[in-house]
């Protein structure tokens, strides 16, 4: 498996933040941020809006100079790394698609390639970003997902060692999103460093080697997605019962949340085993029981204390697992 | 580069790191120029392929020339020794330069900045100023063919007859002094939001055209408007070329006003660029 091969190698530090603080007026975007990312890592920066994800990327690109602290990209100043053509990025597009209107895709890509000292092969970029069918199209006639693929092609046109992607799949449908994840993952498997910001939890979970949860400009949690989920040991139980009684279900051992819909019941529990024993003990007639990991979403809610309507569950988890932020730092 | 150079030997077998890790070769000025040339070609090519740009830029001065030519007898002397047919050709050269420069910068630049394309270029290896610099150069480059075209129309339909040296001199003068227009276009694109950019550009075209005396000779305007014309770069642009054709010395006041516009606009653009860069927006 290519991912494992990349991990075996001794690796240098690709990106480092030391005590980085940045404010926009009174609002603090980065608060004493410390972070090290190793070469070849595929890292997800996860967090709610305003957590500091975009600022982190802007700082890494030298677009924003932080007021305090030290940032290095590939061992040098971020602007140096950009000027040397060692960095590529796909930023959030503003009002438009982030591509020059009135030109064909191949022309825009051709231009960006020429701006780099050691660009990737044209055909290779086209294949990686899967834009073979779009080359002759005009940039202003692309769909949202197509435009994002072209922007990815532009991000990797300079054959960069490090790529930053700021919420790259935010405007995509499910299918394009899956395809895009594969592209990012493949690119990371080549030994390059990929850092992407997202608030799609599944995205972080499925493609990143390592997930950093950012909130209020600091690292709240740091580890492989699976470890993060384990840290928040929530399981979801689903079953069917003829006359669900919400009050009884809420009293079950370990339960943090109960959802009843007709005869279907969904329970979030911190201790699935205890909940099931209790369920049996109370003689609740259930069938079609299914237990699943609650997913990164729950972990995320728990760690940042955000999320709509689920904030209670999050608060509960935080109370029971006091050292969540510190639990999961096992990155090489 | 401490961490990197320490790790470099271990990474030697990595095809993607070995090229770049450790010391990155410095890039000479010659190879710095190549990307800028590519960017310039891209910009000019884009403008010349846009039918909207061509329709506005070529259409206005050419159609106005053909329309206004009938307003007076073509041979009527309208100032010094300059006849109506010549005056109008020079005025439409000025107007064409103005329209081309404003449309090349203005709306497009504003849109590109809003859409994030400007920012995307900002994070490529080309220097920070090259985006603005290339825009100004590209505007100047598309102004030239417009001037030549209007001169051609003047010769073909207005029966303007000049010596070869005069044609060349006129072209160079009108072209070189169009720099304030190019800067104005870029400045508008920098300052004005996308939705407002098109009306602002159109408004500027006609305000500078009319009050600059490009549609009616300034000496035929009421006194108050004659005074107003003194503040228009378009008036001085036009007046320089007319004076040259008339065989008069080129009054320093025209040069001074144009140079003043260049200085003010260039400073304003640099200031805006610096502010945005400090905020990470450029």
A223 beta partners: A211
CATH number of the domain residue A308 falls in: 3.30.70
pLDDT digits (tens, 9 = 90+) for A75-112: 899 999 999 899 999 988 766 678 888 889 999 999 99
Domain assignment of residue A313, yes or no: yes
Q: Determine the 3-state secondary structure of B83 from DSSP.
A: strand
Window 145-164 of A: residues touching B by CB (8 A cutoff) are 151, 154, 158-159, 161
- pLDDT on residue A230: 59
Mutate to test the interface with A, among B47, B280, B281, B282 (most CBs of A within 10 A): B280
- pLDDT on residue B8: 39
DSSP-derived secondary structure letter, A197 = E
Mutate to test the interface with B, among A25, A114, A122 (most CBs of B within 10 A): A114
Report the alpha-carbon distance of residue A293 to residue A207 in Å, rounded. 18
DSSP-derived secondary structure letter, A160 = -
Cβ-based contacts of B21 with chain A (< 8 Å) = 12, 161
A186 Cβ partners below 8 Å, 6+ apart?
Answer: A128
Contact B280/A98, CB-based, under 8 Å?
A: no
User: Any idea of the CA torsion for B84, B85, B89, B92, to the nearest 10 degrees?
Assistant: 50
Question: How many CB atoms within 10 Å of residue B77?
Answer: 12
Domain assignment of residue A328, yes or no: no
The terminus-to-terminus CA distance of chain A in angstroms comes to 19
Examine the domain organization and report whether A90 and A119 are in the same domain: yes
Q: What is the domain range of residue A313?
A: 230-322
The pair of three-digit structure tokens given for residue A264, joined into one six-digit string: 């279907």
Domain assignment of residue A327, yes or no: no
DSSP-derived secondary structure letter, B55 = H
- Kindly report the nearest CA distance between residue A92 and chain B, in angstroms: 8
Q: Which of A72-86, A271-285, A316-330 has the lowest mean pLDDT?
A: A316-330
Contact A291, A234 (CB under 8 A): no
Nearest to A9 among B10, B114, B125 (CB): B10
Place of tokens 């401490």: B2
CATH number of the domain residue A139 falls in: 3.40.50.300
Cβ-based contacts of B45 with chain A (< 8 Å) = 107
DSSP-derived secondary structure letter, A12 = -
Question: How many CB atoms within 10 Å of residue B36?
Answer: 17
The pair of three-digit structure tokens given for residue A130, joined into one six-digit string: 């899967």
Report the alpha-carbon distance of residue B93 to residue B81 in Å, rounded. 19
Cβ-based contacts of A195 with chain B (< 8 Å) = none
From residue B247, alpha-carbon distances to A172, B76, B173, B221, B240 in Å are: 65, 18, 14, 23, 11
Closest C-alpha to B6, from A40, A16, A74? A74
Query: How do strand A193-198 and strand A255-261 relate by DSSP bridges?
Result: unpaired
Report the alpha-carbon distance of residue A149 to residue A270 in Å, rounded. 40
Report the alpha-carbon distance of residue A298 to residue B243 in Å, rounded. 78
Strand order across the A27-38 sheet: A27-38, A13-24, A68-73
Nearest to A76 among B1, B19, B111 (CB): B1
Closest C-alpha to A197, from A152, A167, A222, A163? A167
Examine the domain organization and report whether A216 and A294 are in the same domain: no
A240 alpha-carbon distance from chain centroid: 34
pLDDT digits (tens, 9 = 90+) for A156-190: 999 999 999 988 887 777 778 888 888 888 888 88
The pair of three-digit structure tokens given for residue A301, joined into one six-digit string: 């809610």
Domain assignment of residue A331, yes or no: no
Examine the domain organization and report whether A207 and A287 are in the same domain: no
Contact B114/A96, CB-based, under 8 Å?
A: yes
Examine the domain organization and report whether A138 and A240 are in the same domain: no
Mutate to test the interface with A, among B51, B116, B273 (most CBs of A within 10 A): B116
The mean pLDDT value of chain B amounts to: 84
Does the ipTM exceed 0.90? no
Of residues A304 and A238, more confidently modeled: A238
Report the alpha-carbon distance of residue B214 to residue B233 in Å, rounded. 11
Examine the domain organization and report whether A93 and A208 are in the same domain: yes
Examine the domain organization and report whether A212 and A240 are in the same domain: no
Cβ-based contacts of B117 with chain A (< 8 Å) = 96, 98-100
Q: Which of A176-190, A245-259, A307-321, B113-127 has the lowest mean pLDDT?
A: A307-321
Report the alpha-carbon distance of residue A2 to residue A95 in Å, rounded. 38
Domain assignment of residue A124, yes or no: yes
Examine the domain organization and report whether A170 and A286 are in the same domain: no
From residue B250, alpha-carbon distances to A56, A130, B246 in Å are: 56, 60, 10
Domain assignment of residue A330, yes or no: no
In the listed set A162, A191, A224, which residue is the last one of a domain according to the structure? A224
- pLDDT on residue B81: 83
Report the alpha-carbon distance of residue A46 to residue A15 in Å, rounded. 17
Contact B123/A82, CB-based, under 8 Å?
A: yes
| Tally of domains in chain A | 2
- Kindly report the nearest CA distance between residue A206 and chain B, in angstroms: 24
Q: Determine the 3-state secondary structure of A331 from DSSP.
A: coil
Query: How crowded is the C-beta side of A44, counted as CA atoms within 13 Å?
Result: 32
- pLDDT on residue A304: 62
- pLDDT on residue A49: 76
Place of tokens 């329970």: A267
Of residues A184 and A295, more confidently modeled: A184
Nearest to B4 among A75, A99, A100 (CB): A75
In the listed set A169, A202, A224, which residue is the last one of a domain according to the structure? A224
Domain assignment of residue A332, yes or no: no
Domain assignment of residue A300, yes or no: yes
Examine the domain organization and report whether A184 and A300 are in the same domain: no
Chain B contact for A240 (CB, 8 A cutoff): no
């Amino acid at each position: 498996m290519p991912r494992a091969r990349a991990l075996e190698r001794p690796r240098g530090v690709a990106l480092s933040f030391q005590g980085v603080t940045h404010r926009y007026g009174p609002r603090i975007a980065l608060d004493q941020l410390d972070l090290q990312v190793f070469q070849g890592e595929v890292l997800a920066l996860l967090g709610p809006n305003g957590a500091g994800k975009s600022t982190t990327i802007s700082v890494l690109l030298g677009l924003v100079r932080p007021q305090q602290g030290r940032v290095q990209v590939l061992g040098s100043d971020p602007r140096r790394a950009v000027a040397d053509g060692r960095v590529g990025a796909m930023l959030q597009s503003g009002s438009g698609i982030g591509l020059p209107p009135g030109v064909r895709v191949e022309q825009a890509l051709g231009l960006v390639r020429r701006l780099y000292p050691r660009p990737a092969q044209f055909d290779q970029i086209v294949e990686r970003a899967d834009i073979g069918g779009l080359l002759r199209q005009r940039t202003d006639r692309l769909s949202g997902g197509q435009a994002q693929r072209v922007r990815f092609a532009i991000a990797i046109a300079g054959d960069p060692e490090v790529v930053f992607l700021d919420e790259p799949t935010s405007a995509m449908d499910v299918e394009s999103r899956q395809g895009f994840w594969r592209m990012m993952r493949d690119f990371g498997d080549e030994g390059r460093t990929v850092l992407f910001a997202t608030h799609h939890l599944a995205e972080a979970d499925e493609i990143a080697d390592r997930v950093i949860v950012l909130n209020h400009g600091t690292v709240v949690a740091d580890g492989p997605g699976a470890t993060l989920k384990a840290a928040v040991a929530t399981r979801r139980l689903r079953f069917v019962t003829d006359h669900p009684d919400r009050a009884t279900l809420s009293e079950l051992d370990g339960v943090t949340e109960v959802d009843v819909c007709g005869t279907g019941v969904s329970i979030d529990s911190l201790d699935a085993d205890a909940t099931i024993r209790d369920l049996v003990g109370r003689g609740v007639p259930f069938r079609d029981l299914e237990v699943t990991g609650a997913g990164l979403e729950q972990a995320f809610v728990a760690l940042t204390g955000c999320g709509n309507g689920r904030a209670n569950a999050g608060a509960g988890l935080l109370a029971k697992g006091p050292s969540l932020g510190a639990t999961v730092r096992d990155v090489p | 580069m401490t961490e990197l150079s320490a790790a470099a030997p271990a990474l030697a077998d990595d095809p993607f790191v070995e090229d770049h890790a450790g010391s990155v070769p410095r890039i000479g000025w010659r190879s710095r120029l190549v990307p800028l040339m590519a960017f310039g070609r891209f910009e000019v090519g884009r403008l010349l392929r846009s039918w909207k740009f061509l329709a506005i830029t070529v259409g206005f001065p050419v159609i106005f020339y053909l329309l206004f030519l009938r307003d007076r007898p073509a041979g009527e002397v309208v100032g010094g020794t300059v006849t109506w047919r010549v005056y109008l050709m020079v005025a439409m050269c000025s107007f064409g330069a103005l329209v081309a420069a404003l449309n090349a910068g203005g709306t497009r630049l504003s849109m590109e900045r809003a859409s994030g394309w400007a920012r995307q270029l900002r994070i490529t290896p080309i220097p920070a100023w090259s985006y603005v610099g290339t825009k100004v150069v590209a505007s100047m480059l598309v102004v030239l063919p417009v001037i030549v075209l209007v001169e051609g129309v003047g010769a073909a339909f207005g029966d303007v007859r000049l010596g070869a040296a005069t044609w060349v001199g006129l072209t160079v003068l009108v072209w070189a002094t169009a720099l304030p227009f190019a800067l104005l276009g870029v400045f508008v694109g920098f300052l004005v939001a996308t939705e407002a950019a098109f009306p602002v550009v159109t408004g500027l075209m006609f305000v500078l055209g009319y009050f600059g005396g490009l549609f009616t000779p300034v000496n035929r305007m009421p006194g108050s408007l004659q005074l107003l014309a003194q503040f228009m770069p378009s008036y001085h642009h036009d007046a320089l070329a007319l004076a040259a054709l008339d065989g008069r010395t080129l009054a320093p006041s025209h040069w001074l006003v144009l140079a003043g516009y260049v200085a003010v606009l260039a400073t304003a653009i640099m200031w805006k660029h610096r502010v945005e860069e400090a905020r990470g927006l450029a």
